[in-house]
């Protein structure tokens, strides 16, 4: 059934032409390349780790198919950072000839090659080496540009290969990251439901079922994911693939990204490190997912049908006050400048805010039921993430209580996308919700 869903989504895609998933399919790389890109030449881009995992086998298959190949292998340590600067350096590597880029790796490799290929107006082949994130088939490249992480619209890979033997051999923590990235779609769906109910951004009937239709089933295989069971890994990789296609078809990351990602992006912008390594995107999203679910849990214990709309409108900060808060939070620089643009885009005047909050108040019983059907209890998600081998609590990635409070409050500034953070803020409830969602006081641990 999942294979049929992928085939159906690929048929709708303007860019993705083929997704090949199965055991031993690296051997088919050469034939797939000739089908989708012709006679080449090709340039394989990998790092030390992904070259050993799959790059050499891909090169052998391409050569056997008569494709001229060159390679550019990056250092695998320290962990690569997804930046526009790295993408631009790879663009220059590719620009010396007309090679088709072949990205062999997972999140960072795919995203920087995606941006480099798009800059050169070239289609590319992606060989995924881990079920660690949802970007293999997405058009967006989440990259840091002068310290500000943003999703840059490019084009997805024309073809994607996911060899389940390679994916099963990936480090277990990477599979946990992919599970965490997929888990974030639960609260992200709640955010989209809120935006839909308030008339801000309607749910897309094509993208929504691609992400949410099989989500509970994929997440329900947490023990199998941790054990490396082929069926569970195939479901995880397929789910992440469908999420990427949903983002491409929708034209933005809304189907996959909400408050959970906004919180995570702040940690990534701060170059959060734990255990001597930069914390991965998937690990950050896993913890951001749990924090977001705790906010939903708090929200659903409130009776917004009794919201004092007049008081909320009277207490709402002006745009100037919001801009001042951004500068106080981030200081001078690119993060503050970009955040001001995002907040300007979603700020509304008193009349619009009043109408929105009246709609929220009057429609709360129905909206609350929709949200209860979408989100899961945070303690349930914590258990699922741990069973899958992913982090769930802030301390597990080096985020202290005070830092968690500060970054959660400031995350609403990063995107114009409306989420649970914005709803709570406009109701005058955000600080109370965040405070109630923090872990208990304990000895200072990690970044505070």
Q: Summarize pLDDT for 351-400 with one digit per residue, the tens.
A: 999 999 999 999 999 999 999 999 999 999 999 999 999 999 999 999 99
If asked whether residues 300 and 282 sit together in one domain, one would say yes
Q: Report the 10 Å Cβ neighbour count for 446.
A: 17
Torsion of CA 190, 377, 262, 407, to 10 degrees: 140
Is residue 345 exposed (0-12), middle (13-18) or buried (19+ Cβ within 10 Å)? exposed
- How much is the pLDDT for 233? 93
What pTM did the predictor assign? 0.91
Position 149 confidence tier, pLDDT thresholds 50, 70, 90:
confident
If asked whether residues 154 and 212 sit together in one domain, one would say no
Judge whether 442 lies within some domain.
no
Nearest to 6 by CA among 307, 308, 243, 194: 243
Nearest to 266 by CA among 342, 182, 377: 342
Nearest to 312 by CA among 353, 360, 368, 363: 353
Residue 446 backbone class (left: φ over 0; alpha: ψ -120 to 50; beta: rest): left
**Is the confidence at residue 87, as pLDDT, over 60?**
yes
- How much is the pLDDT for 237? 92
- How much is the pLDDT for 343? 98
- How much is the pLDDT for 413? 97
If asked whether residues 123 and 196 sit together in one domain, one would say no
**pLDDT tens per residue, range 253-281:** 999 999 999 999 999 999 999 998 889 99
Peptide bond into 158 cis (omega under 30): no
- How much is the pLDDT for 442? 59
Position 5 confidence tier, pLDDT thresholds 50, 70, 90:
confident
**First and final C-alpha spacing in the chain:** 46
Peptide bond into 56 cis (omega under 30): no
Q: Are 5 and 242 in contact (CB under 8 A)?
A: yes
Judge whether 301 lies within some domain.
yes
If asked whether residues 409 and 424 sit together in one domain, one would say yes
For residue 151, give the H/E element and its range: strand 148-153
Total count of residues recorded for the chain: 448
If asked whether residues 91 and 129 sit together in one domain, one would say yes
Describe the crossing of helices 259-269 and 185-197 by its angle, rounded to 10 degrees: 120
**pLDDT tens per residue, range 387-409:** 999 999 999 999 999 999 999 99
Q: Are 148 and 265 in contact (CB under 8 A)?
A: no
- How much is the pLDDT for 312? 98
- How much is the pLDDT for 447? 62
If asked whether residues 86 and 196 sit together in one domain, one would say no
**Three-class secondary structure of residue 258 per DSSP:** coil
CATH number at residue 73: 3.40.50.1970
**pLDDT tens per residue, range 178-231:** 999 999 999 999 999 999 999 999 999 999 999 999 999 999 999 999 999 989
Peptide bond into 415 cis (omega under 30): no
Residue 375 main-chain phi, psi, to 5 deg: -85, 165
Q: Are 156 and 280 in contact (CB under 8 A)?
A: no
Position 446 confidence tier, pLDDT thresholds 50, 70, 90:
low
Whose tokens are 């959660």? That residue is: 408
If asked whether residues 127 and 198 sit together in one domain, one would say no
Q: 154: domain range?
A: 2-170
Share of the chain above pLDDT 70, in %: 98
If asked whether residues 162 and 222 sit together in one domain, one would say no
The tokens for 27 are 């051997």
Strand bridging mode 18-22 / 159-163: parallel
Q: Are 86 and 107 in contact (CB under 8 A)?
A: no
Share of the chain above pLDDT 90, in %: 88
**Average pLDDT value over all residues in the chain:** 94
Which of 170, 193, 220 is the endpoint of a domain?
170
Residue 351 makes CB contacts below 8 A (sequence gap 6+) with none
Residue 418 makes CB contacts below 8 A (sequence gap 6+) with 191, 194, 195, 198, 200, 201, 346
Which of 170, 194, 221 is the endpoint of a domain?
170
CATH number at residue 392: 1.20.1090.10
Residue 389: half-sphere exposure toward Cβ, Cα within 13 Å: 17
- What Rg do the C-alpha atoms of the chain give, in angstroms? 22
**Three-class secondary structure of residue 401 per DSSP:** helix
If asked whether residues 115 and 187 sit together in one domain, one would say no
Residue 134 makes CB contacts below 8 A (sequence gap 6+) with 178, 181, 182, 240, 241, 243, 244, 247, 256
Strand bridging mode 42-47 / 273-274: unpaired
Q: 79 or 424: which carries more pLDDT confidence?
A: 424
Judge whether 237 lies within some domain.
no
Q: Where are the beta strands (DSSP E) in 237-290?
A: 273-274, 277-278
Tally of domains in the chain: 2
Could you give the CA distance from residue 96 to residue 261 in angstroms, rounded to a whole number? 36
**pLDDT tens per residue, range 91-112:** 999 999 999 999 999 889 999 9
**Three-class secondary structure of residue 74 per DSSP:** strand
For residue 45, give the H/E element and its range: strand 42-47
Could you give the CA distance from residue 234 to residue 442 in angstroms, rounded to a whole number? 40
If asked whether residues 130 and 271 sit together in one domain, one would say no
Could you give the CA distance from residue 90 to residue 34 in angstroms, rounded to a whole number? 23
Which of 123, 144, 170 is the endpoint of a domain?
170
If asked whether residues 166 and 183 sit together in one domain, one would say no
Q: 40 or 232: which carries more pLDDT confidence?
A: 232
- How much is the pLDDT for 171? 92
Nearest to 293 by CA among 433, 412, 197: 433
If asked whether residues 161 and 299 sit together in one domain, one would say no
- How much is the pLDDT for 448? 59
Whose tokens are 């974030």? That residue is: 184
- How much is the pLDDT for 76? 83
The predicted model gives 80-96 an average pLDDT of 95
Could you give the CA distance from residue 165 to residue 273 in angstroms, rounded to a whole number? 30
């Amino acid at each position: 059934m999942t294979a049929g869903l992928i085939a159906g989504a690929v048929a709708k895609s303007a860019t993705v032409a083929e997704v090949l998933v199965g055991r031993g399919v690296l051997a088919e790389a050469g034939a797939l390349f000739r089908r989708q890109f012709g006679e080449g030449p090709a340039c394989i881009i990998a790092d030390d780790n992904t070259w050993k995992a799959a790059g050499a086998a891909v090169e052998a298959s391409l050569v056997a198919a008569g494709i001229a190949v060159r390679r550019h292998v990056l250092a695998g340590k320290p962990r690569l950072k997804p930046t526009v600067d790295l993408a631009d350096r790879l663009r220059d590597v590719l620009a010396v000839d007309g090679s088709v880029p072949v990205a062999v790796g997972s999140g960072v490799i795919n995203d920087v090659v995606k941006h480099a290929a798009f800059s050169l107006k070239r289609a590319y082949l992606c060989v995924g080496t881990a079920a660690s994130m949802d970007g293999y088939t997405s058009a967006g490249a989440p990259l840091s540009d002068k310290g500000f992480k943003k999703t840059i619209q490019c084009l997805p890979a024309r073809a994607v290969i996911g060899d389940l033997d390679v994916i099963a051999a990936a480090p277990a923590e990477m599979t946990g990251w992919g599970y965490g990235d997929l888990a974030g779609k639960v609260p992200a769906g709640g955010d989209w439901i809120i935006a839909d109910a308030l008339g801000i951004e309607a749910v897309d009937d094509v993208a929504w079922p691609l992400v949410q239709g099989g989500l509970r089933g994929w997440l329900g295989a947490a023990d199998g994911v941790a054990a490396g069971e082929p069926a569970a890994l195939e479901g995880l990789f397929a789910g992440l693939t469908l999420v990427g296609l949903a983002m491409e078809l929708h034209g933005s990351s809304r189907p996959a990204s909400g408050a959970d990602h906004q919180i995570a992006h702040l940690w990534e912008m701060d170059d959060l490190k734990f255990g001597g390594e930069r914390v991965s995107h998937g690990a950050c999203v896993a913890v951001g997912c749990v924090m977001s679910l705790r906010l939903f849990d708090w929200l659903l214990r409130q009776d917004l049908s009794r919201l004092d709309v007049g008081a909320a409108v009277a207490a709402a900060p002006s745009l100037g006050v919001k801009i001042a808060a951004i500068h106080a939070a981030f200081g001078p620089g690119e993060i503050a400048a970009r955040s001001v643009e995002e907040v300007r885009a979603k700020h509304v005047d008193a009349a619009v805010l009043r109408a929105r909050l009246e709609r929220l108040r009057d429609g709360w019983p129905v909206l609350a039921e929709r949200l209860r059907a979408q989100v899961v209890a945070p303690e349930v998600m914590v258990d699922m993430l741990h069973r899958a081998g992913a982090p769930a609590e802030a301390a597990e990635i080096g985020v202290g209580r005070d830092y968690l409070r500060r970054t959660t409050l400031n995350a609403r500034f990063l995107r114009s996308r409306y989420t649970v953070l914005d709803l709570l803020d406009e109701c005058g409830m955000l600080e109370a919700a965040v405070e109630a969602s923090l872990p208990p006081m304990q000895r200072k641990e990690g970044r505070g």
